[in-house]
Structure 1
Amino acid sequence: MKLKKEINLINDKKFIKRLNWMALGITVAFIVIFQLLSMIASPKLSRFWDFHFSVVFLITVLFLFLSLLIHEGIHGLFFKLFSETGSKVIVGYKNGLLYASSPNSFYSRNQFIWISIAPFFFITSILTILFFLGWLPQEVYVILATVHGSGCVGDFYWCYLLIKEPKTVKVEDTEVGFRIYES
């Protein structure tokens, strides 16, 4: 295999700043998307619980903390699911980024796309189901889905980079990003 491209997100502070600006744009888009989605529900459903602001705030902060752990756990689960060698998964925090990694493990392009996008897909789906069941107030749903979605900006960027690559490339996960190899 021949190394085609190496992405080092964790140590590239300039790129991290660009991702933060992208996250701001995504936040605005997600506010609109999730607010519109929540309005599809009947007013009774979106007001099932009439919370006091402090309770809403507490639930939101608690979920945001838990969602970081759950998000990285989903990455780890998918690393394990697609690993042929049972690779070790690590979770770390560096330069303001919490990350899961399976260093020196190789995946197909499509597997790495799934590893990248799975937390957004599953957490957003669960939040949406909980809202439509009436278990999350509209305000909490919109805030949680928006903040989690905008926090997935790095995952979206991974998918963007990989979608542009041929299906035949191999992706090696590293502690700071990933490497793309031509077969």
Structure 2
Amino acid sequence: MALIKKYDLLGNKLLLFSLNLISLLLFILFLFLFTLLATRISEINEFSFSLSANDLIYLIPFLLTFFVILSIHELIHGLFSKLFNKEAIIKYGFKKGCLYATAPGSRYSRVQFIWICLAPFILITLLFTLLFSFNLIGIFYFILLASMHASGCTGDFFFVVLTFRHSGNILIEDKENNLIIYSNN
């Protein structure tokens, strides 16, 4: 097994800036997509919403809900890391404005790593969609929470793209600050 590439994720300010910019653009895209999905599910042709000063009372519970969602997101990463490697020691943390889950010392195949990266996006999006479909959350909260979460998955999407930049049989190790790609030939 040979080292192919070591990506310094948190030490690269240009990369962090770029990912934040991409996240903002994805937020706009996801607003459109989840609005389209919501109007299809609810069979309405259009909707509008407005916010008033009285609605600010909901801001704190909304932000707390979003923090809980981000925490669940990281727990899902940890669960899938453990699913693919029962010996993995999962570490959770917060650094440079990001919650994270990592399994230092554990190496995963490309397919396993893609599942680890995408599982929170898939499961949480499905959960939001089901909650909305059964009228357990309103259209505004569905669109906003789903869009915020999906755009918050930008780093995960980036990791998936990185795995496809390397051909052949590879193993991936996700450390606190680095993503390391090894050849498994």
Query: 1:76-130: per-residue Cα shift (whole Å, max 9, x none)?
Result: 101111115x121001111112111000111101101110111101001000010
* Partners of 2:31 and 2:113 in 1: CA distance: 27
- SS of 1:105's partner is coil
* Superposition RMSD in Å: 2.1
Displacement of 1:8 in angstroms is: 1.7
Aligned to 2:177: 176
Aligned to 1:105: 106
Aligned to 1:17: 17
Aligned to 1:83: 85
Provide runs of 4+ in structure 1 moved above 6 Å: none
Provide the aligned length of Structure 1 versus Structure 2: 178
Aligned to 1:36: 36
Preserved CA contact (<8 Å) 1:7 1:179: yes
CA separation of 1:99 and 1:182: change in aligned 2, threshold 3 A: same
Which runs of 5 or more residues in structure 1 are unaligned? none
After TM superposition, the score normalised by the length of structure 1 is 0.89
Displacement of 1:56 in angstroms is: 5.0
Bigger mean CA offset, 94-103 vs 53-62: 53-62
One-letter code aligned to 1:105:
S
- SS of 2:107's partner is strand
* Partners of 1:103 and 1:139 in 2: CA distance: 39
Aligned to 1:68: 70
Preserved CA contact (<8 Å) 1:109 1:167: no
Displacement of 1:57 in angstroms is: 3.6
Displacement of 1:173 in angstroms is: 2.0
One-letter code aligned to 1:153:
T
Preserved CA contact (<8 Å) 2:168 2:183: no
Displacement of 1:55 in angstroms is: 6.5
Which runs of 5 or more residues in structure 2 are unaligned? 48-53
Displacement of 1:163 in angstroms is: 2.7
Query: 1:22-65: per-residue Cα shift (whole Å, max 9, x none)?
Result: 00110010000000000012368x99xxxx83565454222201
